Amino acid sequence: MKKPNGIITEQMCAHFLTIPGEKLIFAKRQHWFILVAPITAALFLAATFLLGAHLLFLIYYPSIPLYLSGNFLILLIFLSVMVKLVSDWHYNLYIVTTRKILKVSCSPLFSQTISEVLLDQVRVIEVNVKIKNFVHVLLDMGDVVIVFDRPSHEEMFVIANIEDPGATGDFLTHAFELIMHSSPVWFHPRDTKHLYKLTEDVYERPHTES
Amino acid sequence: MDFVTTVFLTIFLTAVAVLALFNILYVGGVERTRKQTGMHPPTYIHGILRVNIVVALFVVGLIAVFMAVL
């Protein structure tokens, strides 16, 4: 099966493959487009403050030292914000292996969150692809929503704003089929010759004697 | 040096010093995250951080010179 675009190599994610025999299915970052809005906002703010500094320190209160210092300060703030935005994006990724699904969300110096779903504790019942709007269609960007059925309730894991969501969804569905068929708990084949993807949950009713 | 210039230069000096400290700490934060995740950051991140630190220290010196001269 064709692998979707924008996949991160296994060497980069080797740190997260902790279970013996675990293999990487795919790892992805969010689409670069999510950086566009905050970078544009930062650029706009920097330009506004530079203009303000120009007006303030060259026209209303002329002072070359203040003008130079102010401009350097604005430039430094802008570059620091850019570094933080790009680093946060770089260290925010989704990893799917044969044993678990991970969302790694690290913000250097600020926070670190790693969410993990162990695949042998759940059953995947749906893999949905969601492309929200016109711009996302043009950029081939969207969400892949994985719906789990736990014994007590349903839960969703959203792989948000990734590149090539359609191919990723197909790829994941195919991978989950293979993984879940070999799962001893949830996918007992009815017939050894014909494997079924879905099985029914059958619970014994308690015998009551009237 | 008049009062307004002194106030502005003091504010700028403090802000740039804080930014220099932030960038130095951020290099450490990126390095720690690299060790924890095993993932190297893009090379340009290190480049921009180095530029930020050098520029911030230069501006601290520049403002100090301005304050001394004026």
Taking an 8 Å cut-off on Cβ atoms, the answer to whether A76 and B30 are in contact is: no
For residue A196, name the pLDDT band (cuts at 50, 70, 90).
Answer: very low
Residues of chain B contacting residue A70, judged by C-beta atoms under 8 Å apart: 8, 12
Q: What one-character-per-residue DSSP string does A35-55 give?
A: GHHHHHHHHHHHHHHHHHHHI
Instruction: Please state, in angstroms and as integers, the Cα–Cα distance from residue A127 to each residue in A11, A143, A146, A179, following that order.
Output: 27, 10, 5, 14
Query: From the list A66, A83, A110, which residue is nearest B9 (CB)?
Result: A66
Question: Given this model, what pLDDT does residue B36 score?
Answer: 87
Task: Report the candidate in A135, A155, A137 with the shortest Cα–Cα distance to residue A145.
Answer: A155
| pTM recorded for the entire structure | 0.82
Residues of chain A contacting residue B30, judged by C-beta atoms under 8 Å apart: 87, 108-109
Residues 6+ apart with CB under 8 A from A85: A35, A38, A39, A42
pLDDT in tens, A177-190: 887 766 555 544 44
Residues of chain B contacting residue A91, judged by C-beta atoms under 8 Å apart: 33, 37, 39, 41
Region B3-12: what's the mean pLDDT?
91
* pLDDT at residue B35 is higher than 70: yes
Question: Given this model, what pLDDT does residue B2 score?
Answer: 87
Taking an 8 Å cut-off on Cβ atoms, the answer to whether B12 and A80 are in contact is: no
Question: Given this model, what pLDDT does residue A207 score?
Answer: 61
What is the ipTM metric for this complex? 0.93
Task: Report the candidate in A165, A171, A186 with the shortest Cα–Cα distance to residue A119.
Answer: A186
Residues of chain B contacting residue A76, judged by C-beta atoms under 8 Å apart: 16, 19, 52, 55-56, 59
How many CB atoms within 10 Å of residue A46? 17
- Which of A10, A76, A94, A112 is the best mutation test for B, with the most CBs of B within 10 A? A76
